[in-house]
Structure 1
């Protein structure tokens, strides 16, 4: 199985560099790494170029900055991928060394998969950003919002703690999620009507559920650490939540403004 890791980014190269450093230490490297860039300036491009010879099959997908359009740029990244299995995360996330390995072991046809995130405290976030380094184990144990089932990798508990959900996608985290590419193509990918911060991941995964897929929610696996940052603007939240509500109420499986028309827009470095 060929695995693609997609990392979304926007004008925070300091955080993206820590994420890329965590990709470099993966016990099972992804077959592709695609940076889905929502219109960042040149500093981000230069950073990515500096990692091209350090990370195998690293690519940069960019579109013009026209506000928060995460759904669109993830579609562009997926269209540029040749992988069977897609993992999505964000620039502000640091991956456990077995993160990709865990998803490869947990992959299951008929399901999309998600795990949780561990939030780093503000002081630790600023410290490691300034020092351009990954946190050590002592810092992760003492300066995070501790949660055993999301912070300890214990494969013996995987089957016992796995939950299969067939009705609601509420609580899906797009920063720690994976799915089969073919499953996503069946529902036409992300809904590009989402502009601004909002539940674009929940809407997309709700259509997966409506289309007969299960949500495999995993614990003690796929560990991910989230850097502190102020909340993003939620000025368009009401409109975006309404899109999700329509998908739930009408049991939608397919949207028109999705991935199928994105191929001609992609610019891959």
Structure 2
């Protein structure tokens, strides 16, 4: 049975790219039951763009929510928790604002989903000039043979090969939230993302480490779940050394639940009756 799926999209102040990602989600062969935009403090242009797409998503039976928090620096873990607290799908596919989806992206993830595991997908890197061109032309379709792509082997859609691809024994290697999937109840078990992680880097690896500590298996999805990752300048990595140390402690200590995580947002959503306004929700900072 195909699980009800929530597509979770993190974003910050790049509505031009996010719009293309949302349009590619709208064109999926298998539609998600819900799409939640997790917005780490973008300006109003992003909210206006998302609101403008609500009717098109509703016409396909997809609930579109915009969950926003005040801009107080890079707090991706916190906004992902706030968004996940509103997720209704049994299965969650997590991407970023810069991953344009192959039409079979969600169908591939749904077919690959297995209880007792979480999934790391791959990505095709789009070069800067091709990224600028795609945004200018509002393109949402790419092909493996297009110019301006790197590591184009990741663009091959050959789902019959997916089950044959082994997962590296280095279980956290290549962990990226840009193409990641898990069961919602497993995220509840580990209390979501660790909000001690502020500043870019390792929040997704730390989340994956606690899923592994909880006994889940990491599976690699390749030749399916294809996504095209638009180029952008790198974020500041000033927080990475400290977060690497924290990640090492989580792994070494086999920690399963983080102290500051999803539970606070679930309580706020269910008990405090936050102002829930589709498609935008402004949780208390």
TM-score of the alignment, normalized to the shorter chain, above 0.5: yes
2:115 to 109, 112, 118: 109
Q: Which residue of 1 aligns with 2:242?
A: 239
Q: Which residue of 1 aligns with 2:283?
A: none
Q: Which residue of 1 aligns with 2:92?
A: 86
Instruction: Classify the secondary structure of the residue corresponding to 1:248.
Output: helix
Which sections of structure 2, spanning at least 5 residues, go unmatched? 281-285
Q: Which residue of 1 aligns with 2:150?
A: 145
Residue by residue over 1:59-113, the C-alpha shift from the partner in whole angstroms, topping out at 9 and shown as x without a partner, is 1101111100000101111100111000000111100100000010000000001
Single out whichever of 259-268 and 74-83 deviates more from structure 2.
259-268
**Cα separation, 1, equivalents of 2:143 and 2:108:** 19
Q: Which residue of 1 aligns with 2:15?
A: 13
Q: Which residue of 1 aligns with 2:163?
A: 159
Task: Report how many aligned residue pairs link the two structures.
Answer: 266
**Cα separation, 2, equivalents of 1:241 and 1:267:** 36
Which sections of structure 1, spanning at least 5 residues, go unmatched? none
**Cα separation, 2, equivalents of 1:101 and 1:267:** 33
Matched, 1:27 2:17: no
Change (3 A) 1:77 1:105: same
User: Offset of 1:156 from its aligned partner?
Assistant: 1.9
CA contact (8 A) 1:162 1:218 kept: no
**Cα separation, 1, equivalents of 2:142 and 2:155:** 14
**Cα separation, 1, equivalents of 2:275 and 2:200:** 23
CA contact (8 A) 2:143 2:155 kept: no
User: Offset of 1:11 from its aligned partner?
Assistant: 0.6
Single out whichever of 129-138 and 92-101 deviates more from structure 2.
129-138
Single out whichever of 156-165 and 218-227 deviates more from structure 2.
156-165
Q: Which residue of 2 aligns with 1:208?
A: 211
Instruction: Classify the secondary structure of the residue corresponding to 1:185.
Output: helix
CA contact (8 A) 1:164 1:214 kept: no
User: Offset of 1:163 from its aligned partner?
Assistant: 2.6
CA contact (8 A) 1:162 1:219 kept: no
Q: Which residue of 2 aligns with 1:52?
A: 54
Instruction: Classify the secondary structure of the residue corresponding to 1:112.
Output: strand
CA contact (8 A) 2:102 2:141 kept: no
Residue by residue over 1:150-203, the C-alpha shift from the partner in whole angstroms, topping out at 9 and shown as x without a partner, is 2111122122114375x7323111110000001111111100001110111110
**Cα separation, 2, equivalents of 1:145 and 1:267:** 43
Matched, 1:69 2:69: no
Q: Which residue of 2 aligns with 1:172?
A: 175
User: Offset of 1:251 from its aligned partner?
Assistant: 1.1
CA RMSD in angstroms, aligned pairs only: 1.5
**Cα separation, 2, equivalents of 1:155 and 1:175:** 20
2:260 to 257, 260, 265: 257
TM-score of the superposed pair, with normalisation by structure 1: 0.95
